[in-house]
Amino acid sequence: MPVATIRGGPSGARPGGSAPAGRGKLGGGKGKSALNPFSAQKGAKRHRKMPKDCIYGISKPDIRRLARRGGVKRISATIYGDARQALKERLEVIIRDCVTFCEYRNAKTITVSDVIHSLRRLGRPIYGFDPDTHDHSATVKKAREIARAAREGARRAETDDEEMFV
């Protein structure tokens, strides 16, 4: 009597067909499977991350650094929630204006100019970020002048020290 060959393929799914060779009764591959009770490795269950408010991305040390820059020495523990709330309200106002400017331009990306115009409209202009007026070459030139002056000052200090000991 001839022995029937055991092959994988569509015949394995038919009632008369056999399961693919070497794959057990379930016919699954080598991967992790929660369906396979014989698998040594159980598949990882997917967890949905519970959405939380993005404002908690502003951590306590971040708020502390901002307060230090403002001259605050000591911070009460109840301040952090109030600071986050104030920051959130302020950002909502600024971003609402930015979105208005962006929609007017029929654009989908908020640019630096949108933020600058929004802050100017709110009476809190910010300087030094306008791409139209910012001259990068002048900034680089100024930095080079400062570095050169610092080197010359260091050289003068060295020669002054040498003259004192002569």
Is residue 66 in a domain? yes
> How many structural domains are present in the chain?
2
Is residue 2 in a domain? no
Is residue 104 in a domain? yes
How far apart are the C-alpha atoms of 55 and 80, rounded to whole Å? Answer: 11
Mean of pLDDT over the chain? 79
**C-alpha R_g of the chain:** 34
State mean pLDDT over 123-128. 89
Q: How confident is the model at residue 80 (pLDDT cuts 50, 70, 90)?
A: very high
Q: Are residues 160 and 150 in the same domain?
A: yes
Is residue 129 in a domain? yes
Q: Are residues 127 and 160 in the same domain?
A: no
pLDDT confidence of residue 18: 53
Q: Are residues 128 and 82 in the same domain?
A: yes
CATH number for the domain including 61?
Answer: 1.10.20.10
Q: Are residues 59 and 130 in the same domain?
A: yes
Q: Are residues 122 and 60 in the same domain?
A: yes
Phi and psi dihedrals of 123, rounded to 5? 85, 15
- The structure tokens listed for 71 are 């001259």
The least confident of 7-21, 87-101, 151-165 is 7-21
Residues whose CB is less than 8 angstroms from the CB of residue 99 and which lie 6 or more positions away in sequence, other chains included: 110
- The structure tokens listed for 19 are 């399961």
Q: Are residues 115 and 80 in the same domain?
A: yes
How far apart are the C-alpha atoms of 122 and 92, rounded to whole Å? Answer: 12
Q: How confident is the model at residue 61 (pLDDT cuts 50, 70, 90)?
A: very high
pLDDT confidence of residue 142: 81
Is residue 117 in a domain? yes
Q: Are residues 129 and 160 in the same domain?
A: no
Q: Are residues 150 and 123 in the same domain?
A: no
| 94: containing domain | 55-134
pLDDT digits (tens, 9 = 90+) for 30-52: 655 556 666 566 666 777 777 77
Residues whose CB is less than 8 angstroms from the CB of residue 112 and which lie 6 or more positions away in sequence, other chains included: 129, 130, 131
How far apart are the C-alpha atoms of 113 and 166, rounded to whole Å? Answer: 60
Q: Are residues 123 and 61 in the same domain?
A: yes
Q: What is the pTM of this model?
A: 0.50
Q: Are residues 66 and 85 in the same domain?
A: yes
Confirm if 118 and 101 have CB atoms less than 8 A apart. Answer: yes
